[in-house]
Amino acid sequence: MNELPTQPEHTMAPAPAAPVQSEESFADLLQRPLSKVVIVFLLLLAALAWSTHSRLNNLRQDVARSLQKSNATSNETFALARQVQEQTKELQAKVGVLESRQSEAQSQQLALEQLYQDLSKNRDEWALAEIEQVLSTASQQLQLAGNVQGALIALANADKSLSRADKPQFITIRRAIAKDIEKLKALPGIDLAGVALRIDNVIAEVDKLPMLSDHTPVAPSELARKTRVVAGKPAPEPNAFTARVQQVWTGWTGEMWNEIRQLIRVRSVDTPEALMLSPSEAYFLRENLKLRLLNARLALLSRNEAAFRSDLITAQDMLVKYFDTRARTTQSAQATLRQVQANNLAIDMPTLADSLNAVRTYKAKP
């Protein structure tokens, strides 16, 4: 440790005259209590130095071990840091790839959304164009032929197509269609199919109607049985012989009268030329009557009031002029035609202008 300073040689030389005194003084010093204390102190100091030195050595060893552990830990930490850096780089690369893919996906999504909007717009335009065409055709049929049922079906289909789209911008069009449907439903109903069926029944019976020019007379109607009354009382019943004779006489005279009636017929007609029709002329007359009834049927379906009534009047005149009006079939045909003629076709048909204007207004929007 700290060494005492060395003195020069001329100072270190002992005095030659006092060697015995130095030995005596050293022994005396050992025997003194102070010297013992100093010796103990020196021994304690030496022990403290030795203990401190051993502790320092142990501390050095601990520090060395700690440094070794720290070095090992730092090496492991460095290796882990390198691995983390490498993984971070890989993750950054993957994140970059994902970001690029995400940007591509976003761009594709935007493109798909734009395409969907274009397709949706085009689909709406196609649907509206189809609805406009259907409504225009239904309006023409309504005005020309009075086809109310067809117009109602067209309006219902158009409203159904708009309801499937489920878009609020179509509400105005649907309201206009609903108004037109209410107008058509408020019209007075005419059984066109029933009236046309009656006309068809008359057409089917034309070939069976007896004409005035027929050679075979119409079977006479059955006469009501008459009771002979004498003075308000029934006549007495004849006996068996008289009844037999009367029956034979009645049968013989009846057969003769029938034969005579086959030869001679007396009729009262307004148009004598109706009796002079040949079989071919009668055939064409029946066909002409059928054509008149068919024209009336077409006028009925097209709601042509003037043509309908004109054809029916002409057909009735032909029945009266050329056919036997005493026959039940002819009378039935005349009654059917009168019932048909009683129908009123003069009904003002509404237009579908509200629905068509709503569709065209929506299509005109940018």
One-character DSSP codes across 332-363: HHHHHHHHHHTS-----PPP-HHHHHHHHHHH
Integer Rg of the chain from CA:
68
Q: How is domain 111-187+351-364 classified at the architecture level of CATH?
A: Up-down Bundle (1.20)
Contact between residue 286 and residue 206 where contact means Cβ atoms under 8 Å apart: yes
- Dist CA 178 CA 168 (whole Å): 16
Contact between residue 362 and residue 172 where contact means Cβ atoms under 8 Å apart: yes
- Dist CA 320 CA 324 (whole Å): 7
Q: 103-127: per-residue pLDDT in tens?
A: 888 888 877 777 666 666 667 777 7
CB under 8 Å to 12, separation ≥6 — which residues?
6
3-state secondary structure 80-117: HHHHHHHHHHHHHHHHHHHHHHHHHHHHHHHHHHHHHH
Contact between residue 159 and residue 178 where contact means Cβ atoms under 8 Å apart: yes
CB under 8 Å to 153, separation ≥6 — which residues?
138
For position 8, what pLDDT does the model report?
43
For position 112, what pLDDT does the model report?
76
Half-sphere CA count of 43, side-chain side, radius 13 A? 6
Backbone torsion region of residue 334, taken as left when φ is above 0, otherwise alpha when ψ lies between -120 and 50, otherwise beta: alpha
For position 321, what pLDDT does the model report?
87
For position 235, what pLDDT does the model report?
46
Contact between residue 323 and residue 205 where contact means Cβ atoms under 8 Å apart: no
Query: Which whole-number Å values give the CA distances from 225 to 222, 228, 246, 251, in the listed order?
Result: 9, 10, 17, 17
pTM score over 0.75: no
Buried b (16+ CB within 10 A) or exposed e, 155-193: beebbeebeeeeeeebeebeebbeebbebbeeeeebebe
For position 309, what pLDDT does the model report?
87
Strand locations in the chain (E): 229-230, 233-234
CB under 8 Å to 164, separation ≥6 — which residues?
none
Distance of CA 110 to the CA centre of its chain: 27
CB under 8 Å to 154, separation ≥6 — which residues?
134, 135, 137, 138
Query: Which stretches of the chain drop beneath a pLDDT of 70?
Result: 1-33, 115-122, 145-146, 188-191, 215-239, 258-276, 345-348, 366
Contact between residue 229 and residue 235 where contact means Cβ atoms under 8 Å apart: yes
What letter would DSSP give residue 208? G
Contact between residue 354 and residue 176 where contact means Cβ atoms under 8 Å apart: yes
Q: What six digits make up the tokens of 331?
A: 């009378």
For position 19, what pLDDT does the model report?
47
- Dist CA 361 CA 173 (whole Å): 9
What letter would DSSP give residue 323? B
For position 275, what pLDDT does the model report?
67
- Dist CA 129 CA 240 (whole Å): 95
